[in-house]
Structure 1
Amino acid sequence: MAAVHRELVAEARAAGDREPVPSLATLQRAVARDLSAGERAGLRGGEAARPRYDVYGKRPPVHRNACWEGDHKRVPVRVSLDCIAVCPWVTWFIDVATKAIVGVAVTPHQPARDAVLAALRTGISRTEPYGPFGGLPGVVRVDRGKEFLCRTVERALGAFAVPVDDLPAYKPYRKGTIEALNGAVEEMLLVSLPGYTHVLAPLRCATRIRWRICSRTRTS
């Protein structure tokens, strides 16, 4: 803003304009009032700095089943499988328009094409016990996962004329709906489950310890 103010003063002097130039403080107040935090960050650091404070990659609204996004998520919760502690994986698809989870499959190991096909079946089929959400998507977006891009899955989706949009790797914002789902599930659900493996905040740890002590006291 200081550089802009200096340019305004220089232009006014060069043009012989007798109108007073707004002060630097007035210019700063106007910018703070009329520009968003992302726009101000863009003025300071360029376009690369703007997405940290502003909506990035926003897409226009679409109709139901226009696009699905698919991903794998390792569930950081230990469960017992045949007396062996494992962390399961979930493979799911979400409808971009309605934010409804249309298809899901859970495996006790790192998922393969069978998990993708199972999740697709639960999403495409709307007969009992599946539905009521689901149907045929217009396109499926994935991020170069080999399980989603294998020939078997390609043939299965090709039979329904459903294209697969192979997104660039390491660009999670290109499929932000499923990434938001992954984060929300862990922050709102998984952290409260017994056997959660990630490090908890001190306050949350203390809450869980008190809950366990109270549970044992009631049981005894």
Structure 2
Amino acid sequence: MRHARAKDAAHALALLGAMGPGARVFAGATTFAPVTPDPLPALGVDVSGADFGSMLEIAGGAADIAANAPLEALRRDPALRAALPPLADLLARVGAMAVRNLATLGGGVIWPGGDLRAALAPLGAEAVFAKAGAVPVEDAAQETGDVLTRIRIPLPAPGAWTVEKLGHRERFSPAKLILSVHRGDGPPRLALGAAGRGLTTGTDPGALLSGLGRTEARIARAMLSDALERTCA
């Protein structure tokens, strides 16, 4: 893959424009590994070292995180653990440390096979693009000619957010099922990511589990029951 390194979001957009519609933005490039389905693009813009602002800002009831922040750096950050303990715990179960040193929060949100899109969706988290602006994380996708710069995560009340993950192994493979529950105002907000089915969000447990195979549905129902018991409004 021929690629160029971007200095910041504006530079990345300029490089994408010069390369044409086939160019892809990447940071850790872990989704291009042999065990993942993403093909290696011919042209790319590396934003791993781009200046997207400070790695983590916590203010106004939200965590504002640079999209190119490595997962391991976030996992180790005391401010992140204090503000979002379930996220810090989940990051410890995303791949090996070598993968987490490369993989980024933005990549985990954009990649459909990752854990983070489902985990963050019930919180009302947003993906912020240089051109398109803010969109819900469940709607975020790598758009041609745009660059993901920040992830904004509203801070839940203590104990109000739970994430359950089931994989072929605890680490080193994408989740087979990942369930996220947030109890705020109104009924609990739910998100379920399932291998081969994608992400389902909403407040209706029945709709969340529809379309799953018998075994997966039984496991997901048990995960949901446990998560609802462990969260508080």
TM-score, scaled relative to structure 1: 0.21
* Structure richer in strand, relative to its length: 2
Question: With CA pairs under 8 Å and 6+ residues apart, which has the higher RCO, 1 or 2?
Answer: 2
* Structure richer in helix, relative to its length: 1
Task: Please identify the structure whose Cα radius of gyration is greater.
Answer: 1
